[in-house]
Amino acid sequence: MNRTRRDRDEEGRARSARPRDGLGRPLPYGEAGVERQPEGVVRPPAETVREAQRLLDSGMPFHAHEVLEDAWKSCPEERAGERELWRGLAQLAVGLTHAARGNTAGGARLLLRGADRIGVYPDRPYGLDVAGLVAWARELAGRLDGVVDGVVDPAAEAPRLTAGGPR
């Protein structure tokens, strides 16, 4: 049997070494790509929000998704109630990623799923504008509904994670 060797990271986990573009799509080996976010980074919540916003503003929602996914997966037990908040925020970022890649139906579904998930947080955890994010996600999902082969500009459509945040 002919088995190909899989790329591995330093811990031995399967991880493609192919370069990626700003939307996380693999590029051919040898091409210049966007530096990937390191996986498994544990950040304080405020730093997670700042880094995710920086990446969203740069038109890299896939990379913002990875930062938010780290927060979801590394959320300590004493803050376990926040896991769904971070998971929902990651879904918003990956929904924008799908829409920017031209998968408008998948993008809309993920935006709505993320909006539903974060909408149960009535306060402003870590300054997050939950109501504004829910409204943004629903509005963008509505514009994507029925669009075939459309592509959105991820930087132009990037949400504000915090109320009154810079644009």
Tracing tokens 């009535």 back to the chain, one arrives at 122
Q: Give domain status of residue 7, yes or no.
A: no
Q: What CATH number is attached to the domain comprising 62?
A: 1.10.3450.10
| 24-25-31-34 Cα dihedral, nearest 10 degrees | -10
Domain membership of residue 77 (yes or no) is yes
Contact 50, 44 (CB under 8 A): no
Cα Rg of the chain (Å, integer) = 16
**From first to last of its 167 residues, what are the pLDDT tens digits of the chain?**
455 566 666 666 555 678 888 788 787 788 887 777 667 778 899 999 999 999 999 999 999 999 999 998 988 888 878 999 999 999 999 999 999 999 999 999 999 999 999 999 988 899 999 999 999 999 999 999 887 777 899 999 999 999 865 44
Looking at the structure of the chain, the number of domains it has is 1
Which residue range forms the structural domain that includes residue 91? 45-144
Q: Is 22 contained in some domain?
A: no
Domain-located, residue 152: no
Task: Please check whether residue 151 lies inside any domain of the structure.
Answer: no
In this structure, what token pair is assigned to residue 103? 């998968």
